[in-house]
Chain A
Amino acid sequence: MRRLDHAEAASRFIANEKHEAFHDARLWDLRKKRDRVTHAIPEWEELRQLASDIKEHTLTHLADYLEEFERKALENGVEVHWARDAEEHNQIVYDILSARNTKTLVKSKSMLTEECDMRPFLERRGVEVIETDLGERIQQLDDEPPSHIVVPAVHKLRGDVSAVFARTLGSEAGNEDVNYLAETQRQTTRPYFLSADAGMTGANFAVAETGGFVVCTNEGNADLCASLPKLHIASIGIEKLIPKVEHLGVFIRLLSRSALGSPITQYTSHFRAPRDGAELHVVLVDHGRSGRLGMQDFWYSLKCIRCGACMNTCPVYRRSGGLSYGATYSGPIGVIIDPTFDIRKYSNLPFASTLNGSCTSVCPVKINIHEQIYKWRRIIAERNQLPFVKKATMKAAGKLFGNPTLYRAALSAAGSALEDLPRFAIYNWFNAWGRQREVPQPPPQTFRQWYIENRGQR
């Protein structure tokens, strides 16, 4: 698999200044809203610790909870399927659909089905798949993956959406009114809700105690997908388990506050059993999760509840756009999950970070994201997956920082060099830092020179 070049993809996003500026501001606004609403909860830090503890408890007893969930679900009349990987997941879903001669599937947003690349799999076999979340629908119609796990089309401006809808839904060309665009999607999606043979959702949480699962949306589209067709299929990653209903109190209080800065999503929906005359199927999916559970430093990433707070706060994500990561999961959480799928392809991603730690401090389940990013860098270097320029510079830097005399000599030389060197010597291909920024003015003396002058000679 070809190595993904995050910096190159990001530079294409950055080239469009209007998009980049809006993206940055919109996501930072979500971060600020999150701060406001979380500061109003005195027990916020205690809730984060509880959520982390509940997840770690569940993950260290996961097989037992999976068995309990399955037992309860079966008692409720739910059919339970198990998929080891993406291919098996897609095949199971297709088999359920084709056995019932399903032609049309309405679905709500699910990062797991994105991860499994399910849509093209089903479409090749003649099943029409309709994404019903507005952002996800925009991305489907534009033949692009979601760029953010909560707001899939956040990298697009209204003009882009207008053009996509005019091209695919026949809306009025040039009409960029957001109300009109949203209404267009409502009107064109509704007939599918009424006529589809099957509905599909993901799940935010699966509760072992009840054998039920919870889906959170603001549009109510998951409820429409599940309450009209006679068949409801839910794809659930095995890490979504929590032991008891009472634990939902902790997670629901954290989820939307972290994601969008609202106290709760408009719809927090609990599905436990098929409704009268309908079928409910659950597909429990591994796809690399059991393997990740065995990775000493990285199993904590399985605590993730997919709120996107780490993405909204990340300066690199906000400036480079989700699509530049070239993976289902982008931003800080993507940086630590993606290499578990393909270490060579995603070997650049752990370097798409300043290691500022903001992701870790906003994470509602206390994943040590920035520490994991650093650990991935080490593994990638050890496995010789560093690109040449990075390796050569790192080697030189290592020598420099490891030797005080050499470091001091280089530092004073660098200071005068920055003043004297022509631009092309500083802003060249080797200096990624200088590509989008001006290198700062060097101070007239180093700290060490200042110290010796003012405090030295003891």
Chain B
Amino acid sequence: MTISRDSILAAVRANCPKAAVPMPRIRTFDHDKSALLDRFRLGFELLGGTFVESAPGLELNVKIAELFPQARIICSAVPEVAGTKRLQDIGHPRELDDVDVAVVRAAFGVAETGSIWLSEKELGVIALGYLAQHLVALLDPSDIVVDLHEAYKDTRFITATYAVLMTGPSATADIEGVLIRGAQGVRSLSLIPVRRATG
């Protein structure tokens, strides 16, 4: 095996084009920090996300019951929502198979694309974001960055075991280009702008 490694590296070195190209510098493209939540919402809805208006004094447990009246099993990774299934009791991720609605809090959002950032920390169990039928994400409006360049400056990309930029629900257009929401993962992704509890 180290024979293959060494022979590949030797071949790559031997065949390397002679004129070395320098590493380019990436400048800042978008300086506009205004209306980040509105811009985020535009991108999020474009890829099929459901944006839920939130009012002061919003009771999240009530709101979620209102959004998903049929839901029996709710699994929450946030302190604001109680849920009916405890994440701490999950042994194998497949035990999340029966979850109707999962609730998580995004670490941050990206205005350019309407994406939310989640890692193993926000999801508790990574499969929660994929096996549940519906996913609800909370996002603090002050946690929105301008574009992907700014997003990738976040050092959590370097420390997280797993990180996803999630934009809308699971989707496919593999048959005649007909758009289907809920291909393999969640059938819907809802976003509720809610301030992060301080302290």
Asked if B21 contacts A57 (CB within 8 A), the reply is yes
Interface size class of A (residues with CB under 8 A): 35 or more
Q: Does B56 reach chain A (CB closer than 8 Å)?
A: no
Q: Give Cα A270 to B166, complex, Å.
A: 11
Q: Which of A157, A275, A291 contacts B162, CB < 8 Å?
A: A275
Asked if B167 contacts A66 (CB within 8 A), the reply is no
Between A and B, 7 residue pairs with Cβ closer than 8 Å are: A158-B178, A194-B97, A219-B170, A219-B172, A253-B148, A263-B167, A272-B158
Q: Does B80 reach chain A (CB closer than 8 Å)?
A: no
> Which residues between 1 and 39 of chain B lie within 8 Å of chain A, taking CB atoms?
1, 4-5, 7-9, 11-17, 19-24, 26, 29
> Which residues between 201 and 254 of chain A lie within 8 Å of chain B, taking CB atoms?
209-210, 218-221, 223-224, 226-228, 238, 243, 245-250, 252-253
Asked if B8 contacts A286 (CB within 8 A), the reply is yes
Q: Which of A153, A220, A252, A290 contacts B8, CB < 8 Å?
A: A290
Q: Does B164 reach chain A (CB closer than 8 Å)?
A: yes
A-side residues, CB < 8 A to B, are 22, 26, 29, 43, 46, 50, 53-54, 56-57, 59-63, 66-67, 70, 81-84, 88, 132-135, 138, 151-154, 156-158, 161, 178-179, 181-182, 186, 189-190, 193-195, 209-210, 218-221, 223-224, 226-228, 238, 243, 245-250, 252-253, 260, 262-275, 284, 286, 290-291, 293-294, 296, 299
> Which residues between 158 and 180 of chain B lie within 8 Å of chain A, taking CB atoms?
158, 160-178, 180
Known: A267-B166, A290-B12, A294-B14. A221 touches B176 (CB 8 A): no
Known: A220-B130, A227-B127, A293-B12. A246 touches B26 (CB 8 A): yes
Asked if B113 contacts A264 (CB within 8 A), the reply is yes
Interface size class of B (residues with CB under 8 A): 35 or more
Asked if B8 contacts A238 (CB within 8 A), the reply is yes
Asked if B164 contacts A57 (CB within 8 A), the reply is no
Contacts between chains A and B (CB distance < 8 A), count: 244
Q: Which of A53, A82, A138, A264 contacts B115, CB < 8 Å?
A: A264
Q: Which of A67, A210, A264 contacts B9, CB < 8 Å?
A: A67
Asked if A138 contacts B174 (CB within 8 A), the reply is yes
> Which residues between 131 and 161 of chain B lie within 8 Å of chain A, taking CB atoms?
131, 147-149, 151-153, 157-158, 160-161
Asked if B22 contacts A57 (CB within 8 A), the reply is yes
Per-position binary interface string of chain B over residues 57-75, scored 1 when its CB falls under 8 Å from any chain A CB and 0 otherwise: 0000000000000000000
Asked if B94 contacts A228 (CB within 8 A), the reply is yes
Beyond known contacts A152-B174, A249-B147: 6 more, CB 8 A cutoff? A29-B177, A60-B16, A138-B174, A221-B183, A221-B185, A273-B161
Q: Does B129 reach chain A (CB closer than 8 Å)?
A: yes
Known: A63-B16, A263-B47, A293-B12. A134 touches B24 (CB 8 A): no
Q: Does B193 reach chain A (CB closer than 8 Å)?
A: no
- Residues of A close to B151: CB separation below 8 A: 249
Asked if B12 contacts A178 (CB within 8 A), the reply is no
Asked if B15 contacts A291 (CB within 8 A), the reply is yes
Q: Which residue of B lies closest to A62 (CB)?
A: B12
> What's the least CB distance linking A116 to chain B, in Å?
14
For the complex of A and B, the 3 pairs showing the least CB-CB separation, nearest first, are A294-B15, A220-B185, A135-B174
> What's the least CB distance linking B114 to chain A, in Å?
8
Which of B19, B46, B48, B127 has the most CB atoms of chain A within a 10 A radius of its CB?
B127
Q: Which residue of A lies closest to B94 (CB)?
A: A194
Q: Which of B12, B112, B152 contacts A248, CB < 8 Å?
A: B152
Q: Which of B23, B43, B127, B157 contacts A224, CB < 8 Å?
A: B127
> What's the least CB distance linking A148 to chain B, in Å?
10
Known: A219-B184, A220-B186, A223-B126. A134 touches B5 (CB 8 A): no
Asked if B93 contacts A227 (CB within 8 A), the reply is yes
> What's the least CB distance linking A165 to chain B, in Å?
10
Asked if B115 contacts A268 (CB within 8 A), the reply is yes
Q: Does B120 reach chain A (CB closer than 8 Å)?
A: yes
> What's the least CB distance linking B35 to chain A, in Å?
17
Q: Which residue of B lies closest to A138 (CB)?
A: B174
